[in-house]
Structure 1
Amino acid sequence: MDEKREIRNIASQVIADEEKRTVEGYALLFGVSSDGLPFEEVIERGALDGVIEKSDVFALMNHSQSRGILARCNQGNGSLSLSVDSKGLKYRFEAPKTALGDELLENIRRGEINESSFCFDVEKDTWEKKSDGTWKRTVSKVGNLYDISPVYNAAYSKTSVYMRGKEQAEAELTRQNSENLNEYYSNIEKSLNI
């Protein structure tokens, strides 16, 4: 998988109408703090503006194409319907009449699959260190959306780009603190005429 792609899972109900084979849910929620990551993350409203229209998005089970796809939305068109509302990114598709589609419907019916996930990369974000020493990441612009996935187990992925982004923010904070400390000592030396 591309090192810049990130996966996030949310606890949101996945619903299936077995007669019509319709599956729908929310893959992403705006303004909701993450849990399960080594930092807090919030995706702002507006972060998906224009993203669906330029992305090729697959509906996959557990982010895996190895057994096939469930649906697809290529630049806003296809068997996967994606829409953005005030709550987040909503998806809807008809489960294919395949072994994978049947497995998905059966596992939703049994309650084995009841959460959703999404795979994306980030165009614009900010990091801030909170007063309790933890980090908060605010995603203001998603670059691309790669897939939405009904999942068995919602466990956040710790991708290298996130850790790298956090490390860059920590390094910048350390640099700023060092500059402030050097300036402080320089001012003391000037006042003492050293």
Structure 2
Amino acid sequence: MERRALANAVETKGRTLYGYAARFDAPTQLDGFSERIRPGAFTRTLASKDAPNVRAIYEHDGRALLGRAGSGSLRLHEDDQGLAFELDLPDTQLGRDVATLVKRGDVHGCSFGFIAQGESWEGETRVLEDVDLLEVTITATPAYDTTSVQVRGKQPRGIRLARLYLEACR
């Protein structure tokens, strides 16, 4: 499984984390090459029987479960900007801690774990065209700096996604 980190939006019980786990066509530099995510890269996974298994976790730690698509606590969809998410944080110590860290700005990114099913190369740039999405992670060290994360106290009408461009911790 490969992992890529990005900035996102967050909230706890009564508050929801929201933002983007991935942004389309926003290149990032990795070890020796750059990478872009093509629009539609998550479409197949989100429509598949495996979609309920996508988890939200903290810092890529499978023991730090924050939510799951199958329970409804994690909601994912693609829009014209990328892979958007909303996550209802659990009323647990971890959920409260994550909400506090996001509010303070200590944690401002997201990541996603995936297995590439379709990719191409454009020179030194890897283009992800189709991936099996396995996880969305809230993280302090995103690889992609165009993601966003915020805490929201009230549920807005419809799905309103914040857009923040923050520098990633490197």
TM range (shorter): 0.7 to 0.9
Q: Give the drift of 1:52.
A: 1.3
Name 1:145's counterpart in structure 2.
133
SS at match of 1:60: strand
Q: Name segments (4+ residues, structure 1) moved above 3 Å.
A: none
Name 2:55's counterpart in structure 1.
58
Does the 8 Å contact 1:116/1:151 carry over to 2? yes
Structure 2 unaligned residues grouped into runs of 5+: 145-170
Q: Give the drift of 1:66.
A: 2.0
1:8 aligns with 2:7: no
Q: 1:124 aligns with which of 106, 118, 121?
A: 118
Q: Give the drift of 1:112.
A: 0.9
The residue correspondences of 1:74-153 to structure 2 (distance < 5 A) are 74=70, 78-129=72-123, 135-142=124-131, 144-153=132-141
Structure number with greater Rg is: 1
Q: 2:20 aligns with which of 19, 26, 30?
A: 26
Name 2:142's counterpart in structure 1.
154
TM-score normalized by the length of structure 2: 0.76
Which one has the bigger helix percentage? 1
Higher relative CO (Cα under 8 Å, sequence separation at least 6) belongs to 2
TM-score normalized by the length of structure 1: 0.67
- Taking only the aligned residue pairs, the percentage that are identical comes to 29
Q: Give the drift of 1:104.
A: 0.5
Q: Give the drift of 1:25.
A: 1.3
CA RMSD of aligned residues (A): 1.8
Structure 1 unaligned residues grouped into runs of 5+: 130-134, 157-194
Which one has the bigger strand percentage? 2
